[in-house]
Amino acid sequence: MKTNPLKIGNVLLKSNVLAAPLAGVSDIGFRAVCRLFGAALCYTEMISAKGLFFNNDKTKKLLQTTELESPCAVQIFGSEPDLMADMCKSPYLQKFDIIDINMGCPVSKIIKNNEGAALMGNIKLAEKIIKACVKAAEKPVTVKFRKGTSANCINAVEFAKMCEGSGAALITVHGRLLSQLYGGKSDFQIIKKVVESVKIPVIANGDIFFAFDAENLLKVTGAAGVMVARGSLGNPQIFSDITGQKQPLTKKEAIKMHAQILAKYTEEKTACLNMRKHLMWYLKGIKGAKQFKADAAQVSRLEDILYIADRAFIENE
């Protein structure tokens, strides 16, 4: 697929292919691997503004980055405009080039706090949050949201116009309703309508599992770029496939790099616990996957992960 540079405010990206912020997935190692494979921008896992305000250790660890990630983006969430604005000025966020506001997460514990996609049902509050963050931040502020909250409230176009009017430099639209969670199919037509309704760049998100999916999504919607989410799980090669670049690593090398970066920036035990789920994705579909996954579910040392990678991919080469 032919890719183009993408400008977000004063930040110029090499291409218009982005890696989505995924809670529990987009760790420091995963992001580094995705960038190496061709993702032009990666986002942190979503960061709680309250957690940041209270100096929560787990929250601060999510903000670690490597030199491979420049430029880099942080995604924050919350429902209090003043607090969100203050956190945009936090010293912990200074190293990030872009601040993204999550208004699309459908997880129940987020929705119950009137955060994430729940804000699509309260446009006035969402507007206050975006305006406060844009005013406070000395960098581009972007917003990620959905098609709407339910079949009775499909308001992505109205919401997009509000984001633009509030000063957002770019918006990302996931073509599903809050009520759909991650089921059903992404609605490309609603993304197209959003693209046609605003002048700021729109990134299309949803149902990209192969390079041709990304190409089709751009063709149908006319979006400025695409964001890959679940299609990248255990499959960072998707970014090379979409951008047409030569794959820099084998999957075995990607696993090792991912694990080694995690182990460098976190305790070995924590790194191994995080890698267990990633290994399940990396090992999907290979010969002998059942046994390798059973072994992966028990890893407690970095050397265990490296050993599994060697065994699994020697047998599949």
Please list the active-site residues.
105
Task: Tell me how far CA of residue 145 lies from CA of 122, 204, 304, 310, in angstroms.
Answer: 13, 11, 39, 40
* 299, 272 Cβ separation under 8 angstroms: yes
Pairing relationship of beta strands 202-205 and 11-13 according to DSSP bridges: unpaired
* 271, 259 Cβ separation under 8 angstroms: yes
Pairing relationship of beta strands 11-13 and 6-8 according to DSSP bridges: antiparallel
Strand partners, 35: none
Orientation of helix 268-282 relative to helix 289-296, angle to 10°? 160
Produce one character per residue of 177-201: b if its CB has 16 or more CB atoms within 10 Å, e if not.
bbbbeeeeebbbebbbbbbeebebb
